[in-house]
């Protein structure tokens, strides 16, 4: 759609904007589906704000078509827990779950939710979408397996340590630089302190809340660690070998796209805590949501973006247009894409697109 509607020099901005619209749709569907879990507008807004204000989002996944699948993975459990109240809502839930499952193979981790309330037909539109999408994912994985990684498997302790590091980095430190400096200067102390409110929230939910809140808390934590572990098992690399990091490794450590989903589901514990205590302690519930809003804002700003240093697509198109002068319609010229070094060859743009 972007390619057909916009001029070539506006492709990059158009794709980024369209990708952000998808995230907005994910946030709205999160808000809508969360009505099955809470009748509080503020709690639902807290959950919906997570994909929009995730601190690590702008660095690599927000406004990026290549990483929309992380947001759709976040959306999947909300779709599965929402009963359809009408035929039209059922169609929307089915299509959203099908698209999400077809987009991300890790969505198979949510298959156990299919058996929750299995006799209630209102739950089946989204669950049918997941089952169909998962079947295609499994078939594709078996018949067209991905190229295995050349890196050796990670030390299992690195997977565990990395989860704690990345959760603290995204939720409380906000940026790779802050995370690396804190660990480099103070060791494990900042990470331990960052997990105090997380452990407190989880302990209250597991020990003092009702059955539904306990199950949701367990779901959020399980998905958080499970997705993180799956990503590192499938994509091992020295940048994730945390137990063997040197000082120079910590100084250049970064939060990546793999940090997004684990942090998002841990953040979801705080609106859940606010909902759990709302009936008995409404002021405390409001305080939790206010603190949560401050946490999101302070971790998000200032944003860190991997693509802001270029190269600029529009400038590349202007250069390519000059290179195409006098060339035949069958010729093409490369235009570099951001971030720097991501593509050695760039994108080959046909010269007939670039001519006035």
Per the structure, how many domains does the chain have?
2
Residue 181 CB neighbour total at 10 angstroms: 16
Which tokens hold the place of 167? 């959760």
Task: Specify the DSSP class assigned to residue 202.
Answer: H
The reply to whether 324 and 203 lie within a common domain is no
Task: Compute the 3-state secondary structure of the chain and give helix, strand, coil in percent, each to the nearest 5.
Answer: 70, 0, 25
What range defines the domain where residue 86 resides? 2-300
Cα gap 138→293, rounded to integer Å: 39
| Residues with Cβ within 8 Å of residue 110, at least 6 apart in sequence | 76, 77, 80, 130, 223
Same-domain status, 290 and 318: no
Token digits for 218? 């367990």
Q: Could you tell me if 220 and 325 lie in one domain?
A: no
Question: Is 305 within the bounds of a domain?
Answer: no
**Do 254 and 276 sit in the same domain of this protein?**
yes
Contact present, 240 and 228 (Cβ < 8 Å): no
Last residue of some domain: 264, 279, 300?
A: 300
Residues of the chain with pLDDT under 70: none
Q: Which pLDDT score, from 0 to 100, does residue 22 have?
A: 97
Same domain, 324 and 277: no
What pLDDT, on the 0 to 100 scale, is given for residue 103?
A: 95
pLDDT score at 342: 79
- Give whole-number Cα distances, 158 to 162, 184, 209, 244, 258, in Å: 6, 17, 32, 8, 14
Token readout for 18 is: 């369209």
Instruction: Give the pLDDT confidence score for residue 243 in this predicted structure.
Output: 93
Assigned domain for 132 exists: yes
Its pTM stands at: 0.94
Q: In this structure, are 92 and 221 located in the same domain? A: yes
What's the Cα-to-Cα distance from 4 to each of 8, 15, 172, rounded to whole Å? 9, 12, 42
**What does the pLDDT look like over 282-341, one tens digit per residue?**
999 999 999 999 999 999 998 888 888 889 999 999 999 999 988 887 899 999 998 887
Together in a domain, 242 and 329: no
Same domain for 94 and 14 = yes
Closest to 33 (Cα-Cα) out of 21, 43, 19? 43
Largest Cα separation within the chain, whole Å, is 76
Could you tell me if 13 and 150 lie in one domain?
yes
Same domain, 85 and 164: yes
């Amino acid at each position: 759609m972007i390619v057909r509607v916009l001029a070539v020099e506006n492709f990059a901005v158009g794709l980024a904007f369209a990708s952000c619209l998808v995230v907005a749709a994910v946030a709205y569907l999160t808000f809508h589906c969360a009505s099955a879990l809470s009748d509080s507008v503020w709690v639902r807004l807290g959950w919906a704000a997570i994909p929009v204000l995730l601190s690590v989002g702008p660095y690599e996944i927000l406004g990026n078509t290549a990483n929309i699948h992380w947001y759709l993975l976040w959306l999947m459990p909300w779709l599965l827990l929402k009963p359809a109240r009408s035929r039209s809502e059922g169609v929307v839930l089915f299509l959203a779950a099908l698209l999400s499952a077809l987009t991300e193979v890790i969505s198979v981790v949510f298959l156990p939710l299919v058996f929750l309330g299995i006799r209630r037909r209102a739950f089946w539109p989204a669950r049918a979408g997941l089952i169909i999408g998962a079947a295609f994912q499994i078939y594709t994985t078996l018949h067209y397996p991905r190229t295995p990684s050349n890196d050796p498997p990670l030390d299992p302790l690195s997977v565990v340590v990395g989860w704690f590091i990345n959760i603290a980095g995204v939720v409380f430190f906000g940026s790779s630089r802050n995370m690396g400096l804190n660990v480099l200067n103070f060791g494990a102390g900042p990470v331990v302190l960052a997990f105090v409110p997380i452990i407190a929230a989880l302990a209250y939910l597991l020990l003092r809340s009702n059955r539904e809140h306990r199950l949701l808390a367990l779901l959020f934590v399980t998905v958080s660690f499970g997705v993180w572990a799956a990503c590192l098992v499938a994509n091992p690399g020295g940048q994730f070998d945390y137990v063997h990091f040197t000082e120079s490794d910590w100084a250049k450590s970064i939060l990546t796209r793999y940090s997004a989903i684990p942090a998002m589901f841990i953040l979801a514990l705080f609106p859940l805590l606010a909902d759990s205590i709302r009936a008995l302690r409404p002021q405390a519930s409001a305080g939790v949501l206010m603190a949560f809003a401050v946490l999101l804002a302070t971790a998000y700003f200032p944003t860190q973006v991997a693509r802001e240093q270029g190269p600029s697509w529009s400038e590349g198109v202007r250069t390519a247009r000059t290179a195409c002068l006098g060339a035949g319609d069958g010729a093409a010229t490369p235009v570099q894409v951001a971030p720097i070094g991501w593509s050695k060859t760039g994108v080959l743009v046909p010269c007939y697109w670039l001519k006035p």
